Copies of this chain bind each other. A is one copy, B any other.
């Protein structure tokens, strides 16, 4: 079934049917006639023919490192709810933390196939930027601030500085840090930098032995915590780059019979669903992940519809959630 056949069944030209479908001027008579035939036949216009003609797909390409992560899936949730309102759908590029696949998806989305791209990446290499430069559709970056691109990100650097000051308030002075590898710019690099500068600003000693980096898992938190305590140094608190890491660390502390928060204070970032369920409940930072997805959706649609070429930067705030671990 196609527009020509519908036109024949109605005894009108396909131009009229097309006008009917796209809200052009059609006589009442014909409107009714066409609607009836469409209902009877269950006709749906071919999206690819339409795309070929209009150069629009109503698709947003969303590139993410790992869809099965609470953080990422909340961002995607936000993007999806926002762009759906405007009739857009999501073409999902799940890269499984594989940088090659990120590049691959950028290439797939290049030129056509999608009307805009939202990318949530941990690391932007030269290769990324080179390809992105040659992409004609608008691009929005979520999670970090990349020069010359519209970005939605959190203030990772200052958040950790803030956490250090919270510990200082409680008179904690021997603070360890468990983060992630630094090629992750936001979670790895920025947060660790915030930690070190936070110590300096609060006149605390920077002991690089107490700064560890692993991956995003709770297992990593557990291991790194063990490493820290094997040094036999005095430690009264730990800042963890993510809730997951904090949970692993707490598990290790339980094993060596240290009480949180009496013996050791723990602070982390994420406010994950489980941070308020576990015991002790985590004192953590709430980040607006879903909001960041919504904002990214807003911006990309503005760029698409209004050919808005401005580079927009949105630094989202944060909320300190005090619970039991401090």
Contacts and interface: CB of A to CB of B under 8 A. Distances in A.
- Quick one: copies of this chain in the complex? 2
A277 B42 contact: no
Contact of A77 (B1, B68, B111): B68
A295 interface: no
22 contacts: A1-B111, A46-B52, A46-B112, A49-B52, A51-B51, A62-B92, A67-B76, A68-B76, A69-B73, A73-B73, A77-B94, A77-B96, A80-B92, A80-B94, A84-B101, A90-B91, A90-B94, A91-B92, A92-B92, A248-B277, A274-B274, A279-B279
Nearest to A80: B94
Contacts of A284: none
Interface string A42-78: 1010111101100001010010001111101110110
A67 B94 contact: no
Given A52-B48, A94-B90, A277-B251, A77 B70 contact: no
Contacts of A51: 48, 51
Contacts of A47: 112-113
Interface in A22-46: 42, 44, 46
Interface in A235-275: 244, 247-248, 251, 254, 273-274
Nearest to A48: B51
Contacts of A325: none
A22 B222 CA distance: 51
B218 A277 contact: yes
B89 A92 contact: yes
A59 B96 contact: no
A134 B42 contact: yes
A231 interface: no
